[in-house]
């Protein structure tokens, strides 16, 4: 978000018109850790309903001044490591200040609301009434989008073992990983997909269990690949293991109905889905977008579910802006549609 320790993004044109009816909300973006700040300032800068302050380096401002800023904002967006977030939250003593945490510090905390508005019909109301909202991890966003319609429709039992695959661009690792991948002298291995979480110990497993209410830790198979941004989460299922034996086309009907009123999630037509992607579903196909595509492939025996979106959009800054809008009582989709 620039190089200065403290920078202000003023509201857009016409914001000084005393006769206008727009109520300006004060937004403090605290920190620059992780991927959220890669395009957050572009998304919220210039809006006539926001006064944005970007505090990039807490070491270049007095603790007293920082604490004052934290307690005078309408909402604070924490772009910090989990450890720093845990140290920062107690400094915000003004109970009128709302907080979005973009780290993994509070994703499992019962007092924090999970920041995925499309998770279930009640989630928007929870976010709107919340003081504390934890932003989901991109892999968990895609996983929840595929799991919840089946769970809530009583089609899949909560105790079913799940196998979830994920391919994501290197921007998911933040500034350090971006620099590593874009270094001309990088290792040769960076030119191919690299699987991680080989020990099957990854926080997103617990996050998915927490958000969806499933009983068993899912097997997650994440890979980072040699492209900047975009994520594809896929989940194959043997239909005979479900509570209701349905054809893949009927599974598609479940998803189409579940997301029919969601502007940011589209369920691609079942009959044309394979032809629409030319037989190959690339992970970067939604890069630059704040929307998500859901695909349902398969037959009467095996179904393949897929969620494709941008880890920097619907899985990052786009999700921050959407949650911020809800928490501040603004148009939920302003700046993301």
Task: Look at residue 122 and tell me if it is in a domain.
Answer: yes
DSSP string, 191-213: GS-EE--TTS--HHHHHHHHHH-
Residue 157 lies in a domain: yes
The answer on 291 and 148 residing in a single domain is yes
Beta bridge partners of 298: 303
Convert the pLDDT of each residue in 42-94 to its tens digit: 899 889 999 999 987 767 789 999 999 999 999 999 999 999 999 999 999 99
Cα 228 from Cα 172, distance rounded (Å): 8
105 with 221, same domain: the answer is no
Residue 16: which pLDDT band, with cuts at 50, 70 and 90?
very low
* Within a domain: 1: no
Burial of 176 (0-12, 13-18, 19+ CB in 10 A): exposed
Q: How confident is the model at residue 21 (pLDDT cuts 50, 70, 90)?
A: low
Q: Is residue 261 part of a domain?
A: yes
Residue 337, domain member (yes or no): no
Rg (CA), the chain: 20
Same domain, 303 and 283: yes
Looking at the fold, whether 179 and 302 belong to one and the same domain comes out as yes
C-alpha to C-alpha distances, 32 to 14, 85, 213, nearest whole angstrom:
29, 12, 32
Between strands 25-30 and 292-298, the pairing is unpaired
Q: Is position 334 within any domain? A: no
CATH number at residue 274: 3.30.360.10
Both 250 and 278 in a single domain?
A: yes
Q: Which residue do the tokens 């799991």 mark?
A: 147
Residue 90: CATH number of its domain: 3.40.50.720
Give the per-residue pLDDT at 7. Answer: 63
In the sheet where 113-114 sits, what is the strand order?
A: 6-9, 50-55, 25-30, 75-78, 98-101, 132-134, 113-114
Residue 174 counted as domain residue: yes
| Residue bearing the bigger pLDDT, 18 or 254 | 254
Is 333 part of a structural domain of the chain? no
- Chain-centroid distance of CA 157 in Å reads 25
Residue 312, pLDDT above cutoff 60: yes
Amino acid 20: pLDDT: 52
Residue 288 CB partners (closer than 8 Å, separation 6+): 229, 310, 313
Residues 279 and 178 reside in one and the same domain:
yes
Co-location of 157 and 66 in the same domain: no
Do 132 and 65 lie in one domain? The reply is yes
**Between β-strands 75-78 and 25-30, what pairing exists: parallel, antiparallel or unpaired?**
parallel
In this structure, how many other beta carbons lie within 10 angstroms of the beta carbon of residue 329? 11
Residue whose C-alpha is closest to residue 138's, from 105, 87, 102: 102
- Which pLDDT belongs to residue 69? 96
Could you tell me the two tokens for 317? 């800054």
Residue 265: both structure tokens together: 């999630």
Q: How many domains does the chain have?
A: 2
Write the pLDDT tens digit of every residue in 106-141.
999 999 999 999 999 999 999 999 999 999 999 999
pLDDT digits (tens, 9 = 90+) for 207-233: 999 999 999 999 999 999 999 999 999
Instruction: Say if residue 55 is in the same domain as residue 73.
Output: yes
Distances from the Cα of 337 to the Cαs of 39, 43, 313, 318, in angstroms?
15, 11, 11, 9
Pull the structure tokens for residue 204: 């997103």
Q: Please check whether residues 42 and 180 belong to one and the same domain.
A: no
* pLDDT value at residue 145: 98
**Dist. CA 309–CA 286, nearest whole Å:** 5
Model confidence at 15: pLDDT above 50:
no
21: containing domain: 6-136+315-327
Q: 76 and 157 share a domain?
A: no
- For residues 253 and 319, state if they share a domain: no
Listing DSSP states for 50-63 in one string gives EEEEEE--GGGS-H
């Amino acid at each position: 978000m620039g190089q200065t320790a403290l920078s202000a993004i003023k509201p857009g044109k016409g914001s000084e018109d005393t006769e206008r009816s727009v109520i300006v909300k004060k937004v403090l973006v605290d920190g620059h850790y992780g991927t959220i700040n890669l395009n957050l300032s572009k998304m919220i800068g210039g809006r006539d309903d926001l006064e944005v302050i970007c505090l990039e380096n807490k070491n270049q401002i007095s603790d007293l001044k920082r604490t004052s800023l934290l307690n005078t904002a309408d909402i604070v967006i924490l772009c910090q490591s989990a450890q720093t977030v845990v140290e920062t939250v107690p400094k915000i003593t003004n109970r009128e200040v709302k907080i979005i945490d973009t780290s993994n510090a509070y994703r499992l905390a019962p007092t924090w609301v999970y920041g995925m508005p499309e998770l279930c019909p009640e989630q928007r109301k929870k976010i709107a009434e919340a003081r504390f909202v934890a932003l989901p991890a991109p892999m968990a966003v895609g996983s929840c989008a595929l799991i919840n319609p089946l769970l809530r429709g009583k089609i899949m039992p909560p105790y079913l073992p799940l196998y979830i695959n994920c391919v994501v661009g290197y921007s998911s690792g933040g500034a350090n990983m971006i620099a590593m991948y874009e270094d001309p002298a990088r290792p040769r291995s960076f030119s191919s997909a690299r699987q991680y979480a080989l020990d099957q110990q990854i926080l997103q497993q617990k996050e998915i269990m927490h958000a969806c209410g499933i009983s068993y830790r899912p097997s997650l198979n994440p890979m980072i690949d040699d492209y900047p941004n975009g994520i594809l989460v896929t989940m194959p299922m043997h239909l005979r293991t479900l509570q209701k034996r349905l054809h893949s086309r009927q599974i598609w009907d479940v998803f189409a109905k579940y997301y029919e009123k969601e502007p940011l999630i589209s369920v691609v037509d079942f009959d044309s889905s394979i032809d629409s992607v030319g037989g190959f579903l690339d992970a970067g196909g939604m890069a630059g977008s704040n929307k998500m595509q859901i695909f349902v492939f398969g037959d009467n025996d095996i179904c393949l579910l897929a969620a494709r979106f941008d880890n920097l959009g619907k899985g990052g800054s786009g999700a921050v802006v959407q949650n911020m809008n809800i928490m501040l009582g603004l148009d939920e989709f302003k700046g993301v549609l």
